[in-house]
Structure 1
Amino acid sequence: MARIASESLIERLAEWGVDTVFGLPGDGINGIMEGLRRHRDRVRFVLVHHEEAAAFMATAHAKATGRIGVCLATSGPGGIHLLNGLYDAKLDHVPVLAITGMQETSVLGTGYQQEVHLDRLYADVAEYNMMVTNPAQLPTLVDLAIRTSYARRGVSHITVPNDIQVADADAEPYRTVAPVRPPETAPVYLQPPGLPRRSDLERAAEVLNRAERPAMLVGQGALHAREEVLAVAEALQAPVVKTLLGKAVLPDESPYTTGGIGLLGTRPSEELMDDTDVLFMVGTNFPYSKFLPEQARVVQFEVEPTRAGSRIPTDVPVVCDAKEGLRALLPLLSRRDGSAHLAKYQKMMAKWRAEMEDLENPDRDPIAPQYAMSVLNQLATDDAILTCDSGTIATWAARHWTIRGGREFYMSGTLATMAPGLPYAIGIQHAFPGRQVIAYVGDGGFAMLMAEFLTAAQHRLPIKVIVNNNNSLGQILWEQMVLGFPEHGVRFAQPEADFSAWARSCGGFGAKITKSEDVAHAIGQALAHDGPALVDVDVNPNEPPMPGKVSYEQAKSFAQAFLKGQPHKAAIATTLFKDRIQKLGE
């Protein structure tokens, strides 16, 4: 058979080291599917049940490996479905390539069936965005797309019309001004230098050495720099706050960390942000500026020039790789032997950890979500990878999933979309088949893309899924109450879902848990199962995901919601009393 243009596409992906493509076929990409079939020994195609999940899988694959993730969808509606997952990649700055189909070039512009100009639709999400009009373009366009995704840490998009997909790979149908030159045989991405300028380092060191109450804020850009972060924290005797995406930068039991920041963070971290006189931001452009200091001097190490110094007034913005920058900075720092400032926050963290342990109470009925998370935390391996959905579950994961050993943690950060937990786990399990990968999801998010559990079963992936089932959209419920509104449209009607039945119907392990005494046994069975497993845990729907530090306005709005006729106020008040959550605001 003649070599078709789609083979040129797949061959070039393989030459870039791409070994997996997540997607769903359709008549708009039949030529590309044939290219994948002919080269299935080099690039694996992972068939999913929804294109949105394919984009999430590619995003998770990129987050966990650092290599470009690739997803594939047909023309029209298939390409539209990719968008939510692609925006997740865009906002969390990870390299993903989306490949889509397009109607034949001869009918474009005629209103043909499923004619959606995806290159126009993707104009906002994609850093590189191109429709192929000549088979000879393909290798070069793949190179440019992948290099752009790596350089700008974002999404690239190539859309290929049907007739181009199956054209002769070597066809040059037009008289060109400049013939397309074949790309080099071994494509590479040249990483830009990560070292900062010496003058910037000296300015940063001057500010940091003068700090009396220093603090560090580290994010996902420092995930590869654990040793360097610890060395700088030790030299400065500085407490370290972690963004949610940067949770795995330091072990949660480190004497230097005060845990997370923001609504899902800790009280010591909030106190620290109000107390510090110099904040050192490393590998993060934390978007929620209301949680950042108002008066402190700021030093920022940021790999992307457009983001350096863009979030809050910054005295010394430095463009560099976190690892290389910290390593170069360390000799310029004046080492401190001890610090009352650090000791103060170590004492506060010990109290905070004790409070969190109190909430992990197995004797409560209904089951406390903190308890279910603590059991998973205890039983999972020290190199387990946890993926998480958005919602109240993010609070329980942030506070009760402990980073230790080689553990990792991934979720949708800036987009904070629902439903990525399950496809994230599938994408990461493909990348790391020998590691324990666990999806911690809510009932609302799981229901959106639950067909992907069948995907896991069909690909024989041993992912584990823990469903925190409160039969509601829990985060929205509490947000309505904080705004002073009675709840509306956030609790699902009966009957309550039993997702374990779906898991068993897919050929996996499934358990439905309604009592605390059964949680540990069921999660243990799931973790030991040699295939996909799901534990559906009915948790207290009235458990509040309270901020680390409760403001007066939040408490006032919460009270007003009760006065307006909160239908579950008795149960909520009982939960609050049992948890002693009001102490978090003291």
Structure 2
Amino acid sequence: MARIAAESLIERLVEWGVDTVFGIPGDGINGIMEALRRHRDRVRFVLVHHEEAAAFMATGHAKATGRLGVCLATSGPGGIHLLNGLYDAKLDHMPVLAITGTQETSVLGTAYQQEVRLDRLFDDVAEYNMMVTNPVQLPALVDIAVRTAYARRGVAHLTMPNDLQVAEADADPWKQVGPVRPPATSARYLSPPGVPRREDLERAAEVLNTAERPAILVGAGALHAREEVLAVAGLLAAPVVKTLPGKAVVPDDSPYTTGGIGLLGTRPSEDLMDDADVLFMVGTNFPYTKYLPEPGRARVVQLEADPTRAGTRIPTDVPVVGDAKEGLRALLPLLNRRTDTEHLSKYQDKMAKWRADMDALESAGRDPVAPQYVVSVLDDLAADDAIMTCDSGTIATWAARHWTVRDGRGFYLSGNLATMAPGLPYAIAMQHAFPGRQVIAYVGDGGFAMLMAEFLTAARHGLPIKVVINNNNALGQILWEQMVLGYPEHGVRFPEPEPDFSAWARTCGGFGAKVATAGEVAPAIRQALAHDGPALVDVSVNPNEPPMPGRVTYEQATKFAQAFLKGQPHKAAIATTLFKDRIQRLGD
């Protein structure tokens, strides 16, 4: 058989270390599918049920491994479906390559069936975006696409007409005009130096060494720098606040951390942001500026890998450009050890009280089942190196506050896009990348329903993911957002009956359990974790459990009260839950 051009694409990806492609076949990529078949001993094609899930899987793969994630979709609607997952990669700065097909070159521009200019459609989401127009371009275009995805921490897109996919790999049908020759490139990426400039480090150290009430804010860009973050915190006697994507930077039981920040964060972290005289931001471009110190209230040092993001959120006295791990290593010798630990001790005491409050909400004696209790059971029973993936919604609040990162545990969710539905696809991609680790998708009923067919993907590929559904039969986060705005709830609670997703799990050949009482939670989760294959536990939880901010503002409380006065239909149940929560905190 003649070597086709699509093989040149796949072979080049192999040279880049790609061993997995997530996607769905279609007539617009038949040539690429044939190339994957011919090279199936080197690249595994993971057949999914929706292209959006394929893009989420590629993004999840990149988040968990640091390596390029690759997804594949056919022309027209297939490529369109990739977009949400690709924007997740773009906004969280993950290297992902999207490959799509398009119509034969002879019909392009003639309004042919499913003809969508995907290169134009992807113009905003992609850092590199190119249509292949000649087979001999392929090695160079693949190299540039992959190199750009790594260098710019984002999405690259290649789309290839159907006829070129099956053309001979070395075909060069057009006469070259002038001194033109396709570039001979190499499948190699050299990351830029991560050590910041010496003068910037010295300026940063000068500010940090004068801090009386320091605070460190870390994000996903510091996930690989745990030891260095803790070393800096130890020298400065500084509490460490974590963004949600950066939850695994330092363990949740560390004596240095005050936990999360923002709507899903802790009260000690909010107090610290108001109190700090110096804020050191490491590996984060945290967007919710209302939770950061007011401009001028604290001096700010930011260690950021991307020069365009340094100093974009808050007036920054010393922006430092460099890798979090290498930058902190270079900074450490310049820092003075702070002997006064009163500031740190103050926040350790605050955090001890916060943890006690959270523990009180994990009671097994509450009816309906408290979502906090479900996560606490997962936290107790999961392995010390378990990976949790999470969707957006109230579940992110419960996971942020009740899933404890310790030892080698991981935690991943859609950060800046905050989209629904990535939890399940993430889990599949991460289980594929780490077959020996326990991978748990903690998701809501709303998000799970969007891409629930991918549980069948896990079963068909023999991936033993564990899914725990926080089923409140509602779009819970939107309900509370409406109330905080002072609006009565509308369009957020699904009509009865409440779905039983465990039946779907069993239909797929996996383990499935439906749980309605607190006493059933631990046995069901224990069975699921022990099951040799994909497993799902669908837990009916209290739909009126409020994901309250760490510190409720007067405005939030006022709007919340106004929503009640406007005829909140479930106000009695909500008020009862709030009262029970308060009593639980005071009584335990």
Bucket of the pairwise TM-score, normalised by the shorter protein: over 0.9
Report the AA paired with residue 151 of structure 1: A
Tell whether the 8 Å contact from 2:360 to 2:584 is kept in structure 1 after alignment: no
Task: Return the match for 2:323 from 318, 321, 324.
Answer: 321
- Give the match for residue 6 of structure 2: 6
Alpha-carbon distance in 1 for matches of 2:315, 2:45: 47
Structure 2: gaps (5+ residues) = none
Report the AA paired with residue 496 of structure 1: E
**Are positions 1:399 and 2:401 aligned together?**
yes
Report the AA paired with residue 239 of structure 1: P
Q: How does 1:159-238 map to 2 (within 5 A)?
A: 159-177=159-177, 178-184=180-186, 187-238=187-238
Alpha-carbon distance in 1 for matches of 2:43, 2:306: 31
Deviation at 1:211, TM superposition (A): 0.6
Alpha-carbon distance in 1 for matches of 2:300, 2:374: 39
Alpha-carbon distance in 1 for matches of 2:321, 2:333: 18
Alpha-carbon distance in 1 for matches of 2:461, 2:169: 32
Q: How does 1:476-491 map to 2 (within 5 A)?
A: 476-491=478-493
Structure 1: gaps (5+ residues) = none
Alpha-carbon distance in 2 for matches of 1:69, 1:252: 29
Q: How does 1:61-210 map to 2 (within 5 A)?
A: 61-177=61-177, 178-184=180-186, 187-210=187-210
Report the AA paired with residue 466 of structure 1: V
Alpha-carbon distance in 1 for matches of 2:102, 2:216: 48
- Give the match for residue 452 of structure 2: 450
Deviation at 1:176, TM superposition (A): 2.2
- Give the match for residue 263 of structure 1: 263
Tell whether the 8 Å contact from 1:242 to 1:260 is kept in structure 2 after alignment: yes
Tell whether the 8 Å contact from 1:49 to 1:451 is kept in structure 2 after alignment: yes
Tell whether the 8 Å contact from 1:486 to 1:562 is kept in structure 2 after alignment: yes
- Give the match for residue 440 of structure 2: 438
- Give the match for residue 384 of structure 2: 382
Alpha-carbon distance in 1 for matches of 2:429, 2:12: 21
Deviation at 1:66, TM superposition (A): 0.2
- Give the match for residue 477 of structure 2: 475
**Are positions 1:409 and 2:411 aligned together?**
yes
Residue 582 and residue 480 in structure 1: after superposition, are their counterparts in 2 closer, same or farther (change >3 A)?
Answer: farther
- Give the match for residue 253 of structure 1: 253
Tell whether the 8 Å contact from 2:360 to 2:585 is kept in structure 1 after alignment: no
- Give the match for residue 332 of structure 1: 334
Tell whether the 8 Å contact from 2:391 to 2:442 is kept in structure 1 after alignment: yes
Deviation at 1:182, TM superposition (A): 3.2
Tell whether the 8 Å contact from 2:458 to 2:464 is kept in structure 1 after alignment: yes
Task: Return the match for 1:345 from 347, 362, 368.
Answer: 347
**Are positions 1:305 and 2:337 aligned together?**
no
Q: Secondary structure at the match of 2:11?
A: helix
Alpha-carbon distance in 2 for matches of 1:221, 1:494: 43
Alpha-carbon distance in 2 for matches of 1:141, 1:110: 26
Alpha-carbon distance in 2 for matches of 1:115, 1:166: 19
TM-score by length of 2: 0.98
- Give the match for residue 558 of structure 2: 556
Alpha-carbon distance in 1 for matches of 2:362, 2:318: 42
Tell whether the 8 Å contact from 2:357 to 2:585 is kept in structure 1 after alignment: no
Tell whether the 8 Å contact from 1:503 to 1:510 is kept in structure 2 after alignment: yes
Tell whether the 8 Å contact from 1:546 to 1:581 is kept in structure 2 after alignment: no
- Give the match for residue 533 of structure 1: 535
Deviation at 1:336, TM superposition (A): 1.3
Task: Return the match for 2:521 from 519, 522, 545.
Answer: 519
Q: Secondary structure at the match of 2:428?
A: helix
TM-score by length of 1: 0.99
Deviation at 1:183, TM superposition (A): 2.8
CA deviations over 1:374-426 (Å, ceiling 9, x no partner): 00010000000000000000000000000001000000000000000000000
**Are positions 1:418 and 2:420 aligned together?**
yes
Deviation at 1:583, TM superposition (A): 8.0
Q: Secondary structure at the match of 2:141?
A: helix
CA deviations over 1:275-313 (Å, ceiling 9, x no partner): 000000000010111100011110000000100111110
- Give the match for residue 289 of structure 1: 289
Alpha-carbon distance in 2 for matches of 1:509, 1:182: 52
Alpha-carbon distance in 1 for matches of 2:201, 2:425: 41
Deviation at 1:175, TM superposition (A): 1.5
CA deviations over 1:205-255 (Å, ceiling 9, x no partner): 000011110000000110000000000000000000000000000000000
Alpha-carbon distance in 2 for matches of 1:500, 1:7: 42
Q: Secondary structure at the match of 1:90?
A: helix
Deviation at 1:179, TM superposition (A): 1.5
Q: Post-superposition, which runs of at least 4 consecutive aligned residues in structure 1 deviate over 3 A?
A: 581-584
Which is further off, 502-511 or 572-581?
Answer: 572-581
Alpha-carbon distance in 2 for matches of 1:476, 1:530: 36
Alpha-carbon distance in 2 for matches of 1:167, 1:330: 56
Q: Secondary structure at the match of 1:318?
A: strand
CA deviations over 1:518-560 (Å, ceiling 9, x no partner): 1000000000000000000000000000000000000000000
Tell whether the 8 Å contact from 1:365 to 1:516 is kept in structure 2 after alignment: yes
Alpha-carbon distance in 2 for matches of 1:107, 1:485: 52
Report the AA paired with residue 87 of structure 1: Y
**Are positions 1:370 and 2:369 aligned together?**
no
Tell whether the 8 Å contact from 1:576 to 1:582 is kept in structure 2 after alignment: no
Alpha-carbon distance in 1 for matches of 2:435, 2:63: 16
Q: Secondary structure at the match of 1:580?
A: helix
Alpha-carbon distance in 1 for matches of 2:386, 2:395: 18
Report the AA paired with residue 519 of structure 2: E
Report the AA paired with residue 173 of structure 2: P
Q: Secondary structure at the match of 2:127?
A: strand
Alpha-carbon distance in 1 for matches of 2:301, 2:171: 54
CA deviations over 1:38-86 (Å, ceiling 9, x no partner): 0001110000000000000000000000000000000000000000000
Alpha-carbon distance in 2 for matches of 1:388, 1:174: 50
* Identity fraction in percent: 81
Report the AA paired with residue 518 of structure 2: S
Alpha-carbon distance in 2 for matches of 1:581, 1:10: 61
Deviation at 1:582, TM superposition (A): 11
Q: Secondary structure at the match of 1:227?
A: helix
Q: Secondary structure at the match of 2:54?
A: helix
- Give the match for residue 571 of structure 1: 573
Q: Secondary structure at the match of 2:28?
A: coil
Two-structure CA RMSD over aligned residues (Å):
1.0
Alpha-carbon distance in 1 for matches of 2:327, 2:183: 38
Q: How many residues align?
A: 582
Tell whether the 8 Å contact from 2:56 to 2:425 is kept in structure 1 after alignment: yes
